[in-house]
Amino acid sequence: MARRSRVAVEAEDTELNMTPMLDVVFILLIFFIVTSVFVKAPGIEPNKPEAVTDVDLPPGIIVAISRDNEIWIDKMPYDINEVRSVIMALRDENPKAGGMIQGDAEAQAGIVMQVQELMSDLGIDTRVATE
Amino acid sequence: MKRRVRHGGDDADVDMTPMLDIVFIMLIFFIVTATFLDETGIDLTQPPPPPDSDLNPPTKSAITVYVDGKNRCSVDGRGAECDRVALAVEGIMADKPGANIILRIHEEADNLHLVGLKDKFDDREWTSKIEIIKG
């Protein structure tokens, strides 16, 4: 009886050393804070063409063009005439952002180049997304 | 142990539990919102037009690749299958070494051809220029 109660008291008093876990949690937290990018997703997932010479580019402004030639930015479809002001607003929010045009393989080349020229015109380093 | 600490006084333990809770909540928030973008793309930026003083650049031979509004490809006026454009250009390139390529694409052609052809030319390190044909 006496022994049992002593054991119970001992177990209750045992404190886990949380410091190593805290270190790990902090490192994870900092990693996720640093790597998080708040990008406004266009809202559609176009079927992008494939390419060999493509390079990685972390985008800040994503414009998607669907196969029906709708231009999607931040989950809203826009007309080609409205795109300029929308992109200007996004650029002002994040002036250093690169641009990415996610054109569907069946989207019109004219629209893709028009958006590309417009974004280059606004001083955004723009790429056309590939698979 | 606890009693000893209490008696010691100078070694007072700070209660870390609320901080731990907050840290965990932040950690979970950032894990959930993390989007790992692995976007790849090719550069279609056109070189700036030459300055006015350079109105008559040294004439270099050029090869014209045309894609019409119905996605039919042709190389220097001769029809070619779009998959074989690079081969056709390679054949002409043998006669005109160092020629520039002018990629003329009708605005209604598919993005696939714009990206695909530009990619093939870049892959072979040929200089190419894109022109969009309207109408």
If asked whether residues B120 and B73 sit together in one domain, one would say yes
**Residue B68 covered by a domain:** yes
Report which secondary-structure segment, H or E, holds A29.
Answer: helix A19-35
Shared-domain flag, residues A81 and A120: yes
How many Å apart are CA A121 and CA A102, to the nearest integer?
Answer: 18
Question: A120 at the B interface (CB within 8 A)?
Answer: yes
Half-sphere exposure of B9 (CA within 13 A, CB side): 1
Residue A69 lies in a domain: yes
CA distances (Å), A65 to each of A88, A111, B116, B131, in order? Answer: 18, 8, 17, 20
Tell which phi-psi region holds residue A54, choosing left (phi > 0), alpha (psi between -120 and 50) or beta. beta
Chain B residues near any Cβ of chain A (below 8 Å): 1-2, 16, 20, 23-24, 26-27, 30-31, 33-46, 67, 105-116, 119-120, 122-123, 130, 132, 134
What contacts B50, CB < 8 A, 6 or more positions away? B57
Nearest to B115 among A100, A126, A130 (CB): A130
Identify whether A51 is part of a domain: no
Q: Count CB-CB contacts under 10 A for residue B76.
A: 14
What are the tens digits of pLDDT across the range B46-85?
A: 777 766 665 555 567 888 999 988 889 998 888 888 888 8
pLDDT digits (tens, 9 = 90+) for A58-99: 788 899 999 999 999 999 999 989 999 999 999 998 888 889
Report the residue of chain B nearest A48, measured CA to CA: B112
Q: B54 lies in a domain?
A: no
What pLDDT shows up at residue A12?
64
Instruction: Classify residue B119: in a domain, yes or no.
Output: yes
- ipTM attached to this prediction: 0.72
A55–B109 C-beta distance less than 8 A: no
Residues A24 and A78 occupy one common structural domain: no
Cβ separation B107–A110 shorter than 8 A: yes
The separation between the first and the last C-alpha atoms of chain B, rounded to the nearest angstrom, is 86
Whether residue B9 has pLDDT greater than 80: no
Q: What is the CATH number of the domain that holds A88?
A: 3.30.420.270
On whether residue B106 sits in a domain, the answer given is yes
Amino acid, single-letter form, for residue B120 = K
Task: Give the pLDDT confidence score for residue A11 in this predicted structure.
Answer: 58
In the prediction, which pLDDT does B5 show?
46
A52 contacts B123? CB cut-off 8 A: yes
Q: What are A34's two structure tokens?
A: 């640093």
- Model confidence, pTM: 0.74
Q: Residue A30 is part of which domain span?
A: 2-35
> Using the beta-carbon criterion (under 8 Å), do B112 and A100 form an inter-chain contact?
no
